[in-house]
């Protein structure tokens, strides 16, 4: 069975904190993605990676960075969390074929 695991389901952080969201997949997928999901806006792509140590900006990368040191792990970093980054964050992975498999999501609240 395909498995994409995000480290936390719920997270509460303070404004200005550095936040790490971790995602691990066990399917040997090359491609990994980070989305955020907000009511009325759907899923928006933050960053994606085609391979280890490779990363590309998505549609809304500002305020975020990513790290992919190992093929199975893709981390999303909020350097200095702000309240407008309160959202549901979804990680996904895929092979060369474009079907993406999603993690269960992390609901982040920045206070």
By the criterion CB under 8 A, which residues form the site for another protein? 4, 31, 33, 35, 40-45, 48, 50, 58-59, 90, 92, 94, 96, 98-105
Residue 14 or 96 with smaller CB distance to another protein: 96
Write out the DSSP string of 42-107. EEEEEEEESSTT--EE-S--TTEEEEEEETTEEEEEESS--GGG-EEEEEEEE-SS---EE---EE
3-state class (DSSP) for residue 29: coil
CA dist 88 and 29 (Å) reads 23
Residue 43 C-beta: closest distance to another protein, Å: 4
Min dist CB 65 to another protein, Å, is 18
- Report in angstroms how near the CB of residue 76 gets to another protein at its nearest: 15
Residue 14 or 62: which CB sits closer to another protein? Answer: 62
The residue among 6 and 75 lying less far from another protein, judged by its C-beta, is 6
Give the residue with the Cβ less far from another protein, 17 or 56. 56
- Among candidate residues 78, 101, 79, 77, the one with its CA nearest the CA of residue 90: 101
To another protein, the closest distance from the beta carbon of 10 in angstroms equals 11
């Amino acid at each position: 069975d395909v498995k994409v695991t995000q480290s936390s389901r719920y997270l509460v952080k303070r404004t200005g904190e550095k936040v790490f969201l971790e995602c691990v997949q066990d399917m040997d997928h090359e491609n990994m993605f980070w989305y955020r999901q907000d009511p009325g806006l759907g899923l928006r792509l933050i960053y994606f990676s085609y391979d280890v140590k490779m990363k590309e900006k998505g549609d809304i990368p500002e305020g975020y960075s990513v790290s992919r040191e190992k093929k199975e792990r893709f981390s999303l970093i909020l350097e200095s969390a702000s309240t407008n980054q309160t959202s549901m964050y979804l990680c996904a992975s895929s092979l060369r074929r474009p079907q993406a498999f999603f993690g269960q999501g992390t609901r982040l609240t920045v206070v």
